[in-house]
């Protein structure tokens, strides 16, 4: 399958106010794309657009049906959308027994349902033109689930499963689907995910990024996926690649090791 030529192509990137989304928007715009950068916060989007030619800011909450519709309408007003990068996401840290129901719903609304809905809104036109690429940014937490990230991991398992199935649905129809699964990333996302409230990810309650790979490394993986298309056997990309070994956590024998590590993780979280 051919990749998408970035020059003059129309790209939607959600979660563009910071971290992976911001770096992805900047990189794709630098390669010649017209990038519709979406997020809930207007200020960071305007700063991004002012410093990066080719970026068009769109304030949108991906958990809102009206905002998703408005985002797609804005991005396709002057031409079809070539690439959708579903990057927006929120996290929550805690044990399932302590997790409020509204937080469960919030995670699935943003991380899964909003992602699927945006994909459904752009996919028919891509299929009709036999051209397009959907990139879903998930996590290595979609390979193996451990406390205290059980529900967050469940959303990323869902994204991985959706991406796998969709990729197989569109084989031979001109559209590619890639799931990019970062490990720990050097952004505020991971630090804020340690707070027991999904809304804290954009509340500015912490300004200490966690250790990990730089956000630009994930952005480069997204760019390569779009440029080179749906290479058979490479519909799932892990950043860094070595973290792809996390998929072995589902193997029965190795799963015992993960179970033991989960006990330590659970007790460490309880004592913190």
Which strand ranges, in their side-by-side order, compose the sheet holding 55-59?
Answer: 55-59, 34-39, 10-14, 83-86, 132-137, 175-182, 236-239
In this structure, what token pair is assigned to residue 267? 């007790």
Residue 65 covered by a domain:
yes
Residue 255 covered by a domain:
yes
Residue 141 covered by a domain:
yes
Round to whole Å and give the CA distance between 242 and 238.
8
223 and 86 Cβ atoms separated by less than 8 Å: no
Residue 83 covered by a domain:
yes
State residue 221's pLDDT score. Answer: 95
State residue 194's pLDDT score. Answer: 43
What's the pTM?
Answer: 0.86
160 is in which domain, residue-wise? 10-271
Q: Which of 36, 143, 152, 228 is catalytic?
A: 152
State residue 139's pLDDT score. Answer: 95
Residue 152 known to be catalytic: yes
Residue 5 covered by a domain:
no
Give the mean pLDDT per block of 10 residues along the chain (272 residues): 84 97 98 98 98 98 98 97 98 93 97 98 98 96 90 97 96 96 76 43 40 90 89 82 68 61 64 68
Say which CATH number the domain at 245 has: 3.40.50.720
Residue 2 covered by a domain:
no
Residue 3 covered by a domain:
no
Tally of domains in the chain: 1
* Residues 95-116 pLDDT 10s: 999 999 999 999 999 999 999 9
């Amino acid at each position: 399958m051919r990749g998408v030529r970035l020059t003059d192509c129309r790209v939607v990137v959600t979660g563009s106010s910071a971290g992976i989304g911001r770096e992805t928007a900047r990189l794709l715009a630098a390669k010649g794309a017209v990038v519709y950068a979406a997020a809930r916060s207007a200020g960071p989007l305007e700063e991004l657009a002012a410093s990066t030619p080719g970026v068009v800011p769109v304030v949108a909450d991906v958990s809102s049906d009206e905002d998703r519709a408005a985002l797609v309408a804005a991005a396709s007003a002057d031409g079809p959308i070539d690439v959708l990068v579903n990057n927006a996401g929120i996290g929550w840290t805690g044990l399932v027994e302590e997790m409020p129901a509204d937080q469960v719903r919030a995670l699935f609304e943003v991380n899964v349902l909003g992602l699927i809905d945006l994909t459904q809104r752009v996919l028919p036109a891509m299929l009709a033109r036999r051209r397009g690429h959907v990139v879903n940014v998930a996590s290595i937490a979609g390979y193996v689930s451990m406390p205290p990230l059980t529900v967050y991991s469940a959303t990323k398992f869902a994204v991985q499963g959706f991406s796998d199935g969709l990729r197989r649905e569109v084989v031979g129809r001109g559209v590619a689907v890639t799931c990019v699964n970062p490990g720990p990333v050097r952004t505020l996302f991971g630090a804020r995910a340690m707070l027991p409230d999904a809304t804290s990810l954009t509340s500015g309650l912490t300004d200490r990024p966690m250790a990990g790979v730089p956000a630009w490394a994930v952005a480069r993986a997204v760019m390569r996926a779009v440029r080179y298309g749906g290479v058979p056997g490479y519909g799932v990309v892990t950043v860094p690649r070595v973290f792809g070994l996390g998929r072995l956590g589902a193997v029965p024998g190795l799963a015992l090791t993960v179970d033991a590590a989960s006990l330590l993780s659970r007790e460490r979280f309880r004592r913190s």
